Amino acid sequence: MQWQTPQILGLYQQAARHVLPGERVTLLAHAWQCGRLAEKSGAPEKLQLAGWLHDIGHVWTMAHHPPEDADPIGHAALGGQLLEPLFGQAVSEPVRLHVMAKRYLFTTRGAHARKLSEQAQRSLALQGGLLTEEECEAFEKHPYFADAIQLRVWDDLGKKEGWFEATPQDALDQLQALIRAVQATTVT
């Protein structure tokens, strides 16, 4: 399936109504918060867009299936597949790897793990649990390791109730502008 920008915006319009089980903010507010955290960190636009769209696998699944069918195992892989043809690997790889990054942080930083939301802690086992030392070392060598870790940190921070300075429409407009900026510099 070939994705286009209007389809992504349509999905995120629906995301304004969806809250993942165990979470407290809508998927749109979560996407917006991650995008804002990336922007505030001075991240390049492609990584900002990865922040915005990292849960597109969940957003797509919730738009097409009832919530109980949401698949925590596959949402990162699905997101990577959906995003690569449109934006290239600088966007899709951090998204594809953001669950691996969660497993890495959980394995290597206990303090980080304790701050995770209830849902994020519950889904860890389903997502493969802790990594072995060899898996950690292999992941550290991945060219998008640092971006995936950074994205994961924003993911875990971007779940604050009451922090959504934009209206849903303003958020969608910001997303559209960022998509256009990234597409202007992307050859896929």
Chain positions contacting Fe ion, by CB under 5 A: 55, 155
Nearer to Fe ion, 45 or 155 (CB): 155
N-term to C-term CA, the chain: 15
Q: Which residues contact 77 (CB under 8 A, 6 or more apart)?
A: 57, 96
Nearer to Fe ion, 115 or 180 (CB): 115
Closest residue to Fe ion in the complex (CB): 155
Helices 56-64 and 27-40, axial angle in degrees (round to 10): 170
Smallest distance from Fe ion to CB 120, Å: 8
Smallest distance from Fe ion to CB 58, Å: 7
CA 76, 120, 23, 156 dihedral sign is negative
| Paired tokens of 40 | 């505030």
Closest CA to 147 of 74, 106, 92: 92
Smallest distance from Fe ion to CB 117, Å: 9
Nearer to Fe ion, 28 or 182 (CB): 28
Report the alpha-carbon distance of residue 80 to residue 90 in Å, rounded. 10
Smallest distance from Fe ion to CB 19, Å: 12
Smallest distance from Fe ion to CB 54, Å: 6
Nearer to Fe ion, 37 or 182 (CB): 37
CA 58, 64, 67, 73 dihedral sign is negative
Q: In this structure, how many other beta carbons lie within 10 angstroms of the beta carbon of residue 60?
A: 20
Nearer to Fe ion, 52 or 145 (CB): 52
